[in-house]
Structure 1
Amino acid sequence: MASPGLGDVGGKKTPLFTPQEIDQIAKFLVGNQRRERENIIIPRSFTPTVIKSNEEKTIEAVLESCPFKSVLSLCAGFVLGGGIGLFAASVTPTIPTHDKPQQSAREVLRELKVSTLSYGKNFAAIGFMFAGVECIIESYRGKTDWKNGTYAGGITGGILGLRAGVKAGVAGAFGFAVFSFAIDYWMRH
């Protein structure tokens, strides 16, 4: 049996490659052939992995940024609050009295508009503040877990409650933190 790398020339074993040639082959196969790789993927499962382009990565970065999340929560909060305000105003009874007779359609619509805008602005402010604070906390901690929402709820509730005083700020912080924890727990389990 012939050993690898040796040739048989006239009954005499001679190397097929010189040590310099073996070094060149090794450098070619293993050596420093650097090229920039922007998408190195280590598969973690047997499902196919999709390589993302730079444009897709840029769009993902924008969609996951704190300003985008905050503005999206602002818009969603305004729409949700407006819907709740519309519902609340439509079920609020208006009882005619002697000094205030039956409301006209114009007065009812004006009341609906005021209630809808009021609820919408309040929900928008809360959504904007909560999403922004939560994103900043998540970016700072580098983790996505239940603590981010709880901390953000405490900070948001505390800031909103401080308008009514320190005691209300503490109560708001505690209430928002507990509510945020409960919602986060329910969503994850």
Structure 2
Amino acid sequence: MDPSSMAPLEDEDSAIMKTIKAASTGFAAGTMWGTVVATWYDVPRVERHVALPGLIRTLKLCGNYGLTFAAIGGIYIGVEQLVEKQRAKRDFMNGAVGAFVAGASVFGLKGRGIKSAISSGSALAVTSAVLDIGGRTTRTDVGKEYQHYTIEKKPSPSTS
């Protein structure tokens, strides 16, 4: 194996590594969400006393959600990095294009229609643009310093 071919994978900030991380994180999050969704579904009467069919159904649901989230995360970051490299700019448009492609390709295939592809791609693109323009943060540093937290008990006031 040529060591120079491994160079893009060794760099933590490379486009390939970011795409792999996004797909892996998406798979993990999707699998967890699939587990939550599987607990909401009622197991049919036929499967109540037989564990294996219920377990297989749960694992399929977890896998479907995991693969869907992995595809969205991987496509989103991959296209975002590609557009950033081509445009040589780092702004909200890169994320919006990545989100549109991810939403249109993944949910368009699930919905099996152009209308669902365009609407889901547009919804993800608007969401991505709003988050990117908003700064992707819920807190801003205002420079205020807070007192540190201690676990020591305060001395009780002496009553004389």
* Fold in common (TM above 0.5): yes
What is the SS of the residue equivalent to 1:143? Answer: coil
User: Counterparts of 2:54 and 2:129 in 1: how far apart (Å)?
Assistant: 39
Structure number with greater CO (CA < 8 Å, separation at least 6) is 2
In the alignment, structure 1 segments of 5+ residues that lack a partner are 1-57
Partner residue, 1:4: none
User: Counterparts of 1:65 and 1:171 in 2: how far apart (Å)?
Assistant: 31
User: Counterparts of 2:8 and 2:52 in 1: how far apart (Å)?
Assistant: 46
- Superposed counterparts of 1:27-66, under 5 Å: 62-66=11-15
Whether contact under 8 Å (1:161, 1:171) holds in the other structure is: no
Find out whether 1:116 has 2:65 as its counterpart.
no
Percent identical pairs in the alignment equals 25
Shift of the 148–101 alpha-carbon distance from structure 1 to 2, 3 Å rule, reads closer
Find out whether 1:136 has 2:79 as its counterpart.
no
Partner residue, 2:71: 125
Find out whether 1:154 has 2:100 as its counterpart.
yes
- Counterpart of 1:182, as a letter, is V
Find out whether 1:177 has 2:97 as its counterpart.
no
Between structures 1 and 2, the one with greater strand share = 1
In the TM superposition, what whole-angstrom CA distance separates every residue of 1:114-163 from its partner, at most 9, and x where no partner exists?
11111111111111111100111112222222221112112222223443
For the aligned residue pairs, the C-alpha RMSD in angstroms reads 2.4
- Superposed counterparts of 1:9-20, under 5 Å: none
Return the offset for 1:108.
2.2
User: Counterparts of 1:67 and 1:131 in 2: how far apart (Å)?
Assistant: 9
Partner residue, 1:80: 29
Find the partner of 1:167 among 100, 115, 127. 115
Aligned length: 129
User: Counterparts of 2:67 and 2:56 in 1: how far apart (Å)?
Assistant: 17
- Counterpart of 1:123, as a letter, is F
Shift of the 61–117 alpha-carbon distance from structure 1 to 2, 3 Å rule, reads closer
Find the partner of 1:102 among 40, 48, 69. 48
Q: TM-score, normalised by structure 1?
A: 0.59
Return the offset for 1:188.
4.4
Shift of the 101–125 alpha-carbon distance from structure 1 to 2, 3 Å rule, reads closer
Return the offset for 1:106.
2.0
Shift of the 101–82 alpha-carbon distance from structure 1 to 2, 3 Å rule, reads closer
Whether contact under 8 Å (1:78, 1:120) holds in the other structure is: yes
- Counterpart of 2:131, as a letter, is I
